[in-house]
Amino acid sequence: MLTKAENDRLTRVGAGTPMGETMRRYWLPALLSWELPEPDGAPVRVRLLGEDLVAFRATDGQVGMLDEFCPHRRASLWLGRNEENGLRCVYHGWKYDVTGRCVEQMNEPRPFCDKIRVTAYPTCELGGIVWTYMGPPEKRPPVPQFEWTQLPESHRTVSKVVQACNWLQALEGGIDTSHFTIMHRALKLNPLQRGTEVDGPGVRGGAPTLEVDITDYGYRYFGIRPQPDGSRYVRGYHFVMPFTQLRPLRPNKDQTHGHYWVPIDDETCMVWNFYSSHDPEPIGERSADSGNGYGSHVDVRNGFRPIRNRTNDWMIDRQMQKTETFTGIDGINQQDRAVQESMGPIVDRTREVLGPADRAIVATRRLLLEAVDTVARGGDPRGTGSSYYELRAGEAVLSTAVDWRRTLMPVMYPQTGGAAPADLSLRAKVYEEAGN
């Protein structure tokens, strides 16, 4: 449970808000690279942290990310012409390069270009994503080189979808491992049922014990479920500040999947899904859900809006809910989105009751509030270094005789083995707050 002030502090991301300023200290996924397929192609609208931007790929391939509105009379540059290394406003022909400099003014007999600039944010491309950084130039962190972005294209894929609620409740739904074997369960095995996770051989769902270790990039956490044969089923995740989750696919599959929950504005977010495989075989089977091939879930041409949404009750099927799946909604990600959107645009956290199964939720809020304080004091918040570059997720079914940390840590930290110590005092506070 939070106070109203804390809830506002955590959820609002406009320029000048505490969380808004904190978010602006990180690189943000802005576009799929294929949305800007060619130099001098059509510009694309981007809305991030409540700001309206326009992106374009210049003649030299670089991506410009400008304020949407021309500084002259504020016509939308989205209507603009993407010409020889610059975006030109169609109203009076003022033209801007990727750094925001004005390089031409067609309507003035004696131009004064050198006095004109449009806000421009730096960009980089990694993992098929155009990232941008909207914060103070002198605070720009190293580029967001997540391990999965370094794999060959055949071993990674990425997609996105708009979600009609605040970013934090989407994030909290994603890092919440305790719902995993409840909400997403199948009531009976149905080989034609797409997107429904079923208990694997020898793996049983149910209420997990949750362990959370605070780190310099965020935290790692583990859901531990006792199995009928006396073994333990342990899932190991990472949370990287401020909105990233890495998660395992399933036991015996060396894959790291994950999400970025990126604020479009206070009441809308973009959910990014990535899939990567560390195994020799390619990731191909997920491609139907990514890139141009979203199938029937996402209306890609209509701004990546989901087909199932609040206006159609997420196409819930009450008969299916009776007999086949717990929710009656088709697709894991669709189930998550339905439940998170059902809470309303910004959930009222003054009226919730958390328990020990919500430790990851509590840890996230604690770290985000800490980051806001750090930024306000002029410091660098967690996750702005590069320690998260090596991270992978891990999962195993292990006998109680085995120390599962010894098994999972080398998988989850392939380079350092997780050498840096966890922050035990902060962890103690989180445990206390969530209840024991």
Q: State the nearest-atom distance from the C-beta of 227 to its own copies, in Å.
A: 14
CA 339 to chain centre: 17
- Kindly tell me which of 279 and 432 has the beta carbon lying closer to its own copies: 432
Q: State the nearest-atom distance from the C-beta of 71 to its own copies, in Å.
A: 5
Q: State the nearest-atom distance from the C-beta of 345 to its own copies, in Å.
A: 12
350's tokens: 């003054």
Q: State the nearest-atom distance from the C-beta of 47 to its own copies, in Å.
A: 13
Binning the chain into helix, strand and coil, the percentages to the nearest 5 are 30, 25, 45
Q: State the nearest-atom distance from the C-beta of 244 to its own copies, in Å.
A: 21
Q: Are 239 and 221 in contact (CB under 8 A)?
A: yes
Q: State the Cα angle at 22 between 20 and 23, rounded to 5°.
A: 65
Question: What size, in residues, is the chain?
Answer: 436
Neighbours of 42 (CB within 10 A): 14
Dist. CA 170–CA 152, nearest whole Å: 29
- Kindly tell me which of 182 and 420 has the beta carbon lying closer to its own copies: 182
50's tokens: 């409540």
Closest among 408, 401, 407, 399 to 229, alpha carbons compared: 399
- Kindly tell me which of 33 and 321 has the beta carbon lying closer to its own copies: 321
- Kindly tell me which of 124 and 186 has the beta carbon lying closer to its own copies: 186
Q: Which residues bind its own copies (CB under 8 A)?
A: 41-42, 69, 71-76, 78-79, 81, 90-93, 105-110, 112, 115-116, 172, 178-179, 182-183, 206-209, 314, 316, 318, 321, 326-327, 329, 335, 338-340, 342-344, 347-348, 351-358, 361, 435
Q: State the nearest-atom distance from the C-beta of 150 to its own copies, in Å.
A: 34
Q: State the nearest-atom distance from the C-beta of 177 to its own copies, in Å.
A: 9
- Kindly tell me which of 355 and 421 has the beta carbon lying closer to its own copies: 355
- Kindly tell me which of 147 and 330 has the beta carbon lying closer to its own copies: 330
Q: Are 295 and 283 in contact (CB under 8 A)?
A: no
Dist. CA 136–CA 138, nearest whole Å: 6
- Kindly tell me which of 187 and 288 has the beta carbon lying closer to its own copies: 187
Neighbours of 230 (CB within 10 A): 9
